[in-house]
């Protein structure tokens, strides 16, 4: 069961029908402790994760009863925040030794009995009982019915890796392959330099964005989503084709835009002169936004030299 994006939390008049959970910056994972005693971890795309997270596998085997199926989020929390990059490196056994945690938010089966038809409120009650005595690296996902608490997660805990809030109806069952939950991402605005476009220069379909690093070099920082027709028209009159050596390669790895590595993105380079304001979520790491941003407006009063390098997270690992 997954969540579809929503622009905002429910209003106070309707919020009593929902529970709110923080959306952590991690990987979705199902954990199976089968009746035969074996344990399996599985990603949202059904990729086997068992061998990559032996500490989670062992904890499920030791602390969770046979015949249980859990749903939750794999995270690596270090230096005060959820480290998504370190989590990705765990797929390379030699890449990262940081310990992971499994934060559980749902239970789908207990003692081999399917609980997916039960309403969320009953599954949550069962989950609290099931995890009452667990210890690290397993944890129960916080949840609240208080709208103010959900708003606090979105406003006060961004630095710790809370991307937003997941909203779950208390009377709904668990519906596989259905997008019946809602996710509301914490969003912010930022300024960036346009370094290229996807599509024709006079009517771009999307913008490729850059930010300066500590040396002043313009680095690829992300891309926008599809532009509206009015935005394409406006930007098409302002963008200038690259006239000299461009700071970026002719083709950019798709991994720079939060997509799967191995592919290259064709684009039309532009003179890196135009500054734009974008609407972005808080998933910013390794000098770039992991998800597409939304174009808001042209910042004609700013020049690229006016932008500062993004702040770095301290990493003592």
Residues labelled catalytic: 23
At residue 304, what are phi and psi to the nearest 5 degrees?
-55, -35
Q: How far apart are CA 1 and CA 122, in angstroms?
A: 17
Closest CA to 217 of 201, 195, 236: 195
- Give the bridge partners for 72, in sequence order: 29, 104
- What are the CB-based long-range contacts (under 8 Å, 24+) for 85-88? 85/285, 85/286, 86/317, 87/26, 87/27
Instruction: Read off the tokens for 54.
Output: 């032996």
Instruction: Read off the tokens for 6.
Output: 């929503």
At residue 109, what are phi and psi to the nearest 5 degrees?
-155, 145
> What is the total residue count of the chain?
317
Tokens 């499920």: give the residue. 60
Instruction: Read off the tokens for 297.
Output: 């407006």
Q: How far apart are CA 220 and CA 212, in angstroms?
A: 9
Burial of 255-294, coded b for 16+ CB within 10 Å and e otherwise, reads: ebbeeeeeeebebebbebebbbbbebbbbbbebbbbbbbb
């Amino acid at each position: 069961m997954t969540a579809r994006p929503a622009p905002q939390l429910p209003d106070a008049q309707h919020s009593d029908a929902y529970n709110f959970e923080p959306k952590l910056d991690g990987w979705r994972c199902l954990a199976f402790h089968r009746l035969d005693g074996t344990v399996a971890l599985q990603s949202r795309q059904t990729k086997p994760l068992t061998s990559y997270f032996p500490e989670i596998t062992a904890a499920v085997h030791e602390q969770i009863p046979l015949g249980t199926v859990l749903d939750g989020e794999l995270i690596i929390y270090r230096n005060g925040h959820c480290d998504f990059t370190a989590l990705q490196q765990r797929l390379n056994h030699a890449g990262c030794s940081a310990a992971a945690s499994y934060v559980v938010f749902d239970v789908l089966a207990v003692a081999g009995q399917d609980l997916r038809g039960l309403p969320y409120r009953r599954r949550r009650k069962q989950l609290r009982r099931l995890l009452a005595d667990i210890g690290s690296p397993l944890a129960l996902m916080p949840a609240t019915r208080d709208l103010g608490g959900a708003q606090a997660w979105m406003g006060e805990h961004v630095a710790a890796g809370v991307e937003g809030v997941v909203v779950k109806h208390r009377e709904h069952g668990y519906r596989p392959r259905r997008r019946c939950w809602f996710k509301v991402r914490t969003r912010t605005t930022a300024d960036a330099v346009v370094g290229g476009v996807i599509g024709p220069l006079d009517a771009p379909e999307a913008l490729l964005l850059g930010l300066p690093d500590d040396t002043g070099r313009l680095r690829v920082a992300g891309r926008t989503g599809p532009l509206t027709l009015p935005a394409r028209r406006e930007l098409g009159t302002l963008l200038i084709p690259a006239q000299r050596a461009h700071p970026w390669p002719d083709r950019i790895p798709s991994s720079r835009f939060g997509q799967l590595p191995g592919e290259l993105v064709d684009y039309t380079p532009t003179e890196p002169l135009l500054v734009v304001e974008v609407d972005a979520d808080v998933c910013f790491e390794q000098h770039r936004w992991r998800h597409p941003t939304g174009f808001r407006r042209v910042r004609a009063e700013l020049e690229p030299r006016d932008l500062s390098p993004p702040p770095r997270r301290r990493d003592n690992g």
